[in-house]
Structure 1
C-alpha cells in the first residue's frame, strides 16, 4: 500500500491541474487555492476511511479493495502489491508531481493578472527554472554515476541497494540543492534577475564545494557509523564525489541562469510594467 502522504499529494495535484484552466477566468477559483489542496488531498485519502470509521468498516474495506476507488486519484492503482516496495520512490514522485501542479496553477494565476506586478511572474519562472535545471544537472551527474557503477552507492546512504532507489534519491537531492542555489542567487540580487551564467556557475560551484566539505568530508562518515554501523575514514576525502558535485553545480548554475534569461525574453509583461512605472 502507498503511504498516506502519497495519496494526499496525488489527489491535491490532480485537483489543482484540473482546476488550473478555471483559474484563468474565475477569481473565485484562484482565491481558494489552499482549500483546493485540502479538498484534493482528502479526495485521494477518502477510500482509506475504513481505518477510522466507527461503523460499516467491513463494507468500506471491501469498497477500498475494488477498482472503483481509482476514481479517487488512482487510489487502487497506488495500493497495488507491485508498488509495495517502492514507498520512497512514490513519496518523491508525488512531491515532484505536487510541485508541478503548484507551478501550473500559479502560472495560470499569474497569467490571469491576479499576481501582483512582475515579482509574481518572476517567482513562477524561478520555480520552473529550478525544476528544469535540477533535472538537467541531476541527469548529468546520474549519467556519470551510472557509467562508473556508483549509482547504487547513493542508495546505500539511505539503507537502499538498488540503482532505481539511487536515481530517485539523486533526483530529490538535485531539486533540494538546486532550490538552495537559486535562493542564494536571489538573495544576492534584489531584483531577482539571475540571468548571468558566470554568477550562476560561481554560486553553484561554491555551494557544491561547501556541500562536499561539510556533507561528504565531515557528515558522511558520522552518518554511516550512526545509522548503518559502517565505518568510513574521518575526514572522508572522497575526491570523486567532489568532482561530481562540482559538475552538478556548474551545470545547474549555467542552465538556471540561461533558463531565467530565456523566460525573461519571452515574458514581455515585465518590461511593459517597468516601462509604465518609469513613465509615471
Structure 2
C-alpha cells in the first residue's frame, strides 16, 4: 500500500498536466486539488464506518480502484516495497509540476530599468 501522499500527488499532477495542456478552464489548481482528492477516495473506508465504509472498501479491493488514478496498482505489494522511493518521486513530480505551472501561468516579475522599475508611471510634461 502506497502512502496517501503518493496517491494524492498522482491525481494532482495528472489533472494539472491535463489542464495545463487544455486552455479551457481558469481553475486549474482547483481541478488538480479535486483530482488529488479523487485519487484518495478508495481509502475513504479508513475514515468512514458502517455501510459507507464497506462500500468504499469494496471499491478499494476491486477492479474499480484503478479508476482513481491507478490506486489499486499503487497498492500492490511490488509498490509497497518502494514506498520511500515512490514518495520521493511523487514529491519531485509535484515540485516540477508547480515550476512548470508557474512558468506557464504565473506572473513574471517586471524588468528593472537602469534608473527605476518598469512599473514606475511614465514621466509627464510637468516633471
Same fold (TM over 0.5): yes
How far did residue 116 of structure 1 move?
4.3
Residue matched to 1:50: 45
Instruction: Output the aligned Cα RMSD.
Output: 2.4
Aligned partner of 2:85 among 89, 103, 118: 89
How far did residue 52 of structure 1 move?
1.4
Relative to structure 1, the CA distance from residue 62 to residue 88 in structure 2 (aligned partners, 3 Å threshold; closer, same or farther) is: same
Instruction: Structure 1 unaligned segments of length 5 or more: list them.
Output: 120-190, 192-276
How far did residue 68 of structure 1 move?
1.9
Q: In the alignment, is the contact (CA less than 8 A) between 1:14 and 1:101 conserved in 2?
A: no
Aligned partner of 2:60 among 52, 57, 64: 64
CA separation in 2, counterparts of 1:73 and 1:100? 19
Instruction: Structure 2 unaligned segments of length 5 or more: list them.
Output: 113-117, 123-127
How far did residue 70 of structure 1 move?
1.3
CA separation in 2, counterparts of 1:98 and 1:27? 20
How far did residue 118 of structure 1 move?
4.3
Residue matched to 1:9: 9
Number of aligned residue pairs = 114
Relative to structure 1, the CA distance from residue 27 to residue 74 in structure 2 (aligned partners, 3 Å threshold; closer, same or farther) is: closer
User: Which structure exhibits the higher relative contact order, with contacts defined as CA atoms closer than 8 Å and separated by 6 or more residues?
Assistant: 2
CA separation in 2, counterparts of 1:42 and 1:91? 17
CA separation in 2, counterparts of 1:41 and 1:27? 17
